[in-house]
Amino acid sequence: MRTIILKSASSYLLPVLLLFSVFILLRGHYLPGGGFVGGLVAAIAFVLDAFSNGLDKTKSVLKFHPGFLMPLGLLIAFFSGISPIIFTDMPLMTGLWAENPIPVIGYIGSALFFDLGVYLVVIGASLTIIFTISESA
């Protein structure tokens, strides 16, 4: 859509929304949120941008093709799932946790990486879907 108003509004919203999405992701283990909703928020931010600035612009803004985020995210989730098999003698998906919590994020553990994988996959998948539709619409 060719409207300056939307365009400039969204260019300010985009980074803030991305920040918010990470926020939602990180707090998921303690409060409502998590990788899925976080990923959706991020995806929505980009979709918004695509609506206002056009798809090509949004694509050039994104460092990665969204299609690449899907396997990447799944790979992260996959590795966090099988890391107990590789590094310890525990069954898959066993939580591996750092001894002490770190600030902001809390305990660092494989579950967090898992959620990060979810986050990336959701961004990748949602964007792939929506971008594809927009392109062929």
Partner 1 sequence: MTDILVYITSGLGAVFVLLAAIGTLRMPDQYLRISVNTKAATLGVGLLLTAAALFFLETSVTTRVIAVIIFIFITAPVGAHLIGRTSYFIGNALWGKSVTDDLKDKYNKITHELKGHEEKKENEDETKSKS
Partner 2 sequence: MKTKFLSNILLTLIWVFLTGEYNLNNFLFGFVLSFVILWILSGVEDQGKLKYFKIVPRVISFIFFFIWELTKANIQVAYEVITPKFNMKPGIVALPLDAKTDLEITLLANLITLTPGTLALDVSSDRSVLYVHGMYVEDRKEFVEDIKQGFEKRLLEILR
Partner 3 sequence: MEIILAIITGVLYASGVYMIMRRSMVKLILGIILLGNGVNLLIFLLGRITKGEPPIIDSAEKVLEGVYADPVPQALILTAIVISFGLQAFAIILVKRTYKVLKTDDLDQLNTTDEDS
For residue 32, state whether it binds partner 2 (rule: CB under 8 A): no
Applying the rule CB under 8 A, the residues between 58 and 87 that interact with partner 3 are none
CA 130 distance to own-chain centroid: 15
Nearer to partner 2, 2 or 136 (CB): 2
Do the Cβ atoms of 117 and 80 come closer than 8 Å? yes
| Smallest distance from partner 3 to CB 30, Å | 8
Query: Among partner 2, Na ion, partner 3, none, what binds residue 125 when CB lies within 5 to 8 Å by partner kind?
Result: partner 3
| Smallest distance from partner 3 to CB 131, Å | 12
Please tell me the distance from the alpha carbon of residue 50 to that of residue 59, in angstroms, as a whole number.
8
Can you spell out the DSSP letters for 20-66?
HHHHHHHHTTTSS--HHHHHHHHHHHHHHHHHHH-HHHHHHHSSS-H
At 117, list the tokens. 């994988």
Please tell me the distance from the alpha carbon of residue 8 to that of residue 13, in angstroms, as a whole number.
9
For residue 125, state whether it binds partner 3 (rule: CB under 8 A): yes
Closest by Cα among 40, 34, 41, 32 to 111: 34
For residue 36, state whether it binds partner 3 (rule: CB under 8 A): yes
Do the Cβ atoms of 69 and 122 come closer than 8 Å? no
Taking CB under 8 A as the rule, which mask of x and - marks residues 14-53 in contact with partner 1? --x---x---------------------------------
| Smallest distance from Na ion to CB 90, Å | 9
Q: How far apart are the first and last CA of the chain?
A: 14
The footprint of partner 2 (CB under 8 A) covers: 2-5, 7-9, 11, 14-16, 18-20, 22-23, 57, 60-63, 102-105
The footprint of partner 1 (CB under 8 A) covers: 1-3, 5-6, 9, 12-13, 16, 20
